[in-house]
Structures are given as structure tokens and as C-alpha cells.
Amino acid sequence: MEALQPVGSFKIRGIGRACHELVTTGVQHLVSSSGGNAGLAVAYAGRLLRTRVTVLVPRTTPEMMRAKLRVEGAAVQEAGDSWDDAHAAALALADAPNTGLIHPFEGEALWDGHATLVEECAEQGEPPDAIVVAVGGGGLLVGVLRGLHRIGWGAVPVVAVETTGAASLARSAAAGALQTLPRIDSLATSLGARTPAAEAVAWTQRHPIHCHQVEDRAAVQACARFADDHRVLVEPACGAALAACYELAPPLEQARRILVVVCGGAGVSPALLGDWLAKT
């Protein structure tokens, strides 16, 4: 139930660790190019670490997320029309002395931080028959796989779920090499990485990973069903993983115990969920 993290998503695990590592090596200014949950995690970590944070966001970032970033004390600066523009600006800003850039889904510290999620599961009981994970850039997936192999659960199959308009991992896994989507076409904006982490693609060659795709509509309906079932609101990005469970995607039909990472997301409200249900 990563939706219950203080920032609303699992991102704080890896990003918190990456921020801590940079600050302990002398970084005094943290920079992020994510107007989503990754940026929010940097803002939160920066506040706890008493370190200045700047988040560069593209014009398309909704006011709701900008407000959440400001509440955590981050400076929010608009930079360009797309994430690529914001990221280029963040790279330039991070060139300054004592300044560090936090990537949303890449890096050793980030992956090790995400891995704690699985390590905690090991303390709670037996291995599940399958694990279901939503995939954007694949940082969460890499962390989960690291954790699994570390605790001796290396045979547990993983269902890696993307929406059809953001399936950069499925495309790369099928090709056996890193692929870049021409564009993202999904409501699940937190899954919108045109190119996945190379490390995530490499893992598809050495672990039983089932790439699964769901339509936006199924992801959004899963959000509504999950809110009814558990009284918790999550983004469509998380709804994608939940939809795979509700649909019993392969290999879940044969599984008796399923572990689903409820990755959460802060970019949702009852009104937004209503809009998405009407739109899909």
C-alpha cells in the first residue's frame, strides 16, 4: 500500500535514498525535472534533509501538482513544453557547484531504495506466486527485481504492466533492445517514459517477466473499483497494475497468492477520477 506513503507513492523509497546520498556528499541544492510523483518525492526529501529544491516542470504540469510541490517548500520553475525541455533545463541547472540532479527512474541508490519494498515483504511472510508492478521508466521494476533476488525470491514471476499508449518496456523487451516510443498516448501520465531504463530491459532477459498491457479505460475503471473496495484513491498509473489483477492477466490465473504493488500517485482527486471515467 505505497499509496499511503507521505508523498502518496512509492517514489520516496528510492528518491529519498538518492537525495540522502547526494546531501551526505555535500550537495546543497537538489534539482528535479519531474512535475509528478518523482518531483514531489524530491521536494519532500529536501524538506526533511533541510536542503534547497528546485523542480523544473513543463507547461503541461497541472496546477494541483505545482501547489503540492510548493507546499513541500520546493521552488517550481516552468521550462518548456515537454518533459524533454524540462529535463534539459534541469541538466543545465545541475551543472552549478554543489547541485545534484535526481533522475525519476535511474540510479543505483534509487533502485536500492525501491528494493526495500520487497525486503519488507520478506519479513511479513512466504513468497507470493506472482508480483504485479506498474512500469513507467522501470525504476520500480528494477528495484523490485533487485529486492527479490536479494532475499532469495528470484523464481517469483513478475507481471510488468503498462498502458497500451505508454508501453515502452513491452516494445523494448520484444525487440531485445532499448526502444523509444515516438510519443506517449495515455491518461496514465506517471507511466509516460518514452524510453525505459536500460537496466529494466536487461532484466527482462534474465528473470521471468510477463509484459502486460491494459487500455486506459481498464486502468481508470480499476481506480474506481479499488476506491470502492479499499477507500483509497490512486492514479491511473497504479490502476494499470490493479486492472491486471482484476482481469487475472497471465500468469495470475494459476496464482493463489498475488502481491500487487499499489504504487499510488498524488495526481488524483475524486473530480479527476470522474472526468477520466467520463472520458474513456
Ligand X SMILES: *Cc1c(COP(=O)(O)O)cnc(C)c1O
Letters for 249-268 (x = contact with ligand X by CB under 6 A, - = none) are: --------------xxx---
Interface residue with ligand X among 135, 184, 220, 262 (CB under 6 A) is 135
Interaction between residue 157 and ligand X (CB under 6 A): no
Question: Which one, 255 or 261, has the nearer CB to ligand X?
Answer: 261
Q: How far apart are CA 82 and CA 61, in angstroms?
A: 9
Interaction between residue 105 and ligand X (CB under 6 A): yes
Question: Which one, 157 or 264, has the nearer CB to ligand X?
Answer: 264
Interface residue with ligand X among 32, 163, 179, 190 (CB under 6 A) is 190
* Inter-residue contact 276 to 222 (CB < 8 Å): no
Both ends of the chain: CA-CA distance in Å?
26
Letters for 55-94 (x = contact with ligand X by CB under 6 A, - = none) are: ----------------------------------------
Interaction between residue 237 and ligand X (CB under 6 A): yes
Where do we find the cell 535514498? 17
Interaction between residue 238 and ligand X (CB under 6 A): yes
Question: Which one, 52 or 194, has the nearer CB to ligand X?
Answer: 194
Question: Which one, 2 or 22, has the nearer CB to ligand X?
Answer: 2
CB of 243 vs ligand X, minimal distance in Å: 13
Q: Who contacts 41 (Cβ-Cβ below 8 Å, separation ≥6)?
A: 7, 9, 11, 12, 15, 16
Alpha carbons within 13 angstroms on the beta-carbon side of residue 228 total: 7
DSSP secondary-structure letter at 81? S
Stretch binding ligand X (CB under 6 A), from 45-53, 136-144, 217-225, 270-278 = 136-144
Q: How far apart are CA 206 and CA 163, in angstroms?
A: 23
* Inter-residue contact 209 to 148 (CB < 8 Å): no
Interface residue with ligand X among 46, 58, 127, 137 (CB under 6 A) is 137
- Give buried/exposed letters for 131-152 (b at 16+ CB in 10 A, else e): bbbbbbbbbbbbbbbbbbbebe
Interface residue with ligand X among 5, 32, 37, 189 (CB under 6 A) is 37
Give the binding-site size for ligand X (rule: CB under 6 A).
21
Q: How far apart are CA 169 and CA 164, in angstroms?
A: 11
Interaction between residue 140 and ligand X (CB under 6 A): yes
Interface residue with ligand X among 79, 209, 235, 239 (CB under 6 A) is 235
DSSP string, 123-192: HHSSPPSEEEEE-SSSHHHHHHHHHHHHTT-TTS-EEEEEEGGG-HHHHHHHHTS----S----S-GGG-
Stretch binding ligand X (CB under 6 A), from 22-30, 129-137, 150-158, 223-231 = 129-137
Site for ligand X in 6-25 (CB under 6 A): 9, 11
Name residue 157's amino acid. Answer: P
Interaction between residue 139 and ligand X (CB under 6 A): yes
Interaction between residue 192 and ligand X (CB under 6 A): no
Residue 105: exposure state from Cβ atoms within 10 A (0-12, 13-18, ≥19): buried
Where do we find the cell 541538466? 91
- Residues of the shown chain interacting with ligand X in the complex, contacts defined by CB under 6 A: 9, 11, 37, 105, 134-141, 190-191, 193, 235, 237-238, 263-265
